[in-house]
Amino acid sequence: MREYKLTVGLEVHAELKTKTKMFCNSANDPFNAEPNVNICPVCMAHPGTLPVINKQAVNHVLRVGTALGSDLADFTEFDRKNYFYPDIPKGYQISQYKYPLVSGGLLNGVAIERVHLEEDTASSSHSSADAARASDVSAGSLVDFNRAGVPLMELVTKPVIHTAEEAGAFARELQLLLRTLGVSDANMEKGEMRVEANISISKTDKLGTKVEVKNLNSFRSVERAIAYEVERMTKILDGGPGEIVQETRGWDEGGQKTFSQRKKESAHDYRYFPDPDLPRPRFTKIKNF
């Protein structure tokens, strides 16, 4: 019997090291011990405020693209990705959809699809009634906006990875690259670098149903989650109950397994459109920027 062939594409987010946030003058210091101090009317989405593009963040992404041997955009655009969640004060995230800063390239033998620039969300923490009593705070969810608007790079690989080890090796190499270029500390345990894996298996050249696994905050969990999914999907296809559902799954570090989170959104759910508050930068080639 033919074995299933594994196909993986990675999406990696990395917080960029800049003085200020992506679209305002608030300090880029998401790990400040005191919550909600690095904020201003822009990143808190007060009416009438306008974003300004952080050039240092743009340069960081262009440097990454140069190191990857990618095509650097001569024109770019920022788009609004609309969704409603307490960690996103505007009700949309500014991201890039049609015109990423960087396209193509190669790292560790893995072809890159694109690298674009966006802003990070706020960080939320959830405490149960028991935990709240123990630390003398109210139960429920708390939101810290120090991270809201921090420049975030998203790198997407082509679906060309075929083993869990190859995925882990790619993530390690990318961390090294980001640190060498000085554009991100890329510490996975701190969430400065976050990996998502799009995983499918198939016996033919046609890709199987894809599952996206999130919350992978170590290289080991990237490899283990992929290995776990191969086993889970193989069992289902070989006659186990149910069928592979296209969905987003989380990684349970304690249980060393993935779990279903939600049905996967598609791009049209986000109603992307160009942000009318931002200019559309054009770039001219200069040597040694």
Q: Where in 53-122 does DSSP place strands (E)?
A: 71-72, 79-82, 92-95, 102-103, 106-107, 110-119
Torsion of CA 16, 20, 26, 32, to 10 degrees: 50
Distance in Å, CB of 151 to Zn ion, minimum: 12
Which residue's CB is nearer to Zn ion, number 30 or number 100? Answer: 30
Neighbouring C-beta atoms of residue 152, cutoff 10 Å: 23
Among 23-31, 57-65, 116-124, 125-133, the segment contacting Zn ion (CB under 5 A): 23-31
Distance in Å, CB of 97 to Zn ion, minimum: 23
Rg, Å, the chain Cα set: 20
Which residue's CB is nearer to Zn ion, number 144 or number 166? Answer: 144
Neighbouring C-beta atoms of residue 53, cutoff 10 Å: 17
- Selected from 6, 22, 43, 178, the binder of Zn ion by CB under 5 A is 43
If one asks whether residue 53 binds Zn ion (CB under 5 A), the answer comes out as no
If one asks whether residue 150 binds Zn ion (CB under 5 A), the answer comes out as no
- Selected from 10, 18, 22, 26, the binder of Zn ion by CB under 5 A is 26
If one asks whether residue 111 binds Zn ion (CB under 5 A), the answer comes out as no
Contact present, 105 and 69 (Cβ < 8 Å): yes
Contacts of 259 (CB under 8 A, 6+ apart): 249, 250, 252
Distance in Å, CB of 236 to Zn ion, minimum: 46
Q: In the complex, which residues of this chain contact Zn ion (CB under 5 A)?
A: 24, 26, 40, 42-43
